[in-house]
Amino acid sequence: MKKRSSNLRLTLMAVAMPIGLAACESEPTGVVLNSIDDCRSQQVDVAQCETAYRDAVAKHAQVAPRYEDAMQCESDFGSCQPVREEGRTYYSPPMGGFLLGYALAGGFSNTGARQVAGGAPLYRDYRGGGYRNAGGDAVSRQTGPVTGKRGSIATPARAITVSRAGFGSRAAARGTFGSRGS
């Protein structure tokens, strides 16, 4: 009898675990915004939104994708700006929005509002219209809440240099992801 109850317990745990994980993944982990003006429509505290926007702008200067060829950059983003760095000229897309990330594990204020963890720059894909992060990963096709890893505000330590056409298709990081750049 003891063996049967152990098997039943393990079976119930195996069934309950995916249900619990699915519930976690349906909770928003972030929200895609075009500008600070979108904060009210997405029911985000404006003061926290402004801070997240400033974080995203500061990160944009450090991590925006860099293209060696203006036409390659413009084929992905429509318009790009020249950036002089270390004696070379690269082309970089403008920040097309930002991702406001939520604090995880009970990150709520006294009023029950979600606590904001920070902001990350997003870039509009000229061809598809969606939002991409600095690493080239698709975040969302529209503004609003995102779930799971798409809501992560983690950014590479340094900009990615794209050496061939297609954002993210042949990218080489100047530095390593997640490291603390010098």
Nearest to 81 by CA among 68, 71, 94, 72: 94
Residue ranges covered by each domain of the chain: 28-173
Q: How many CB atoms lie within 10 A of CB 166?
A: 13
Strand order in the sheet with 88-92: 81-85, 88-92, 66-67, 160-162, 171-173
pLDDT of residue 31: 93
The span from the CA of 114 to the CA of 108, in Å, is 4
pLDDT along the chain (182 residues), means of 10: 50 43 64 90 87 94 92 90 91 94 64 77 89 92 91 81 56 38 37
The whole-number pLDDT of residue 85 equals 84
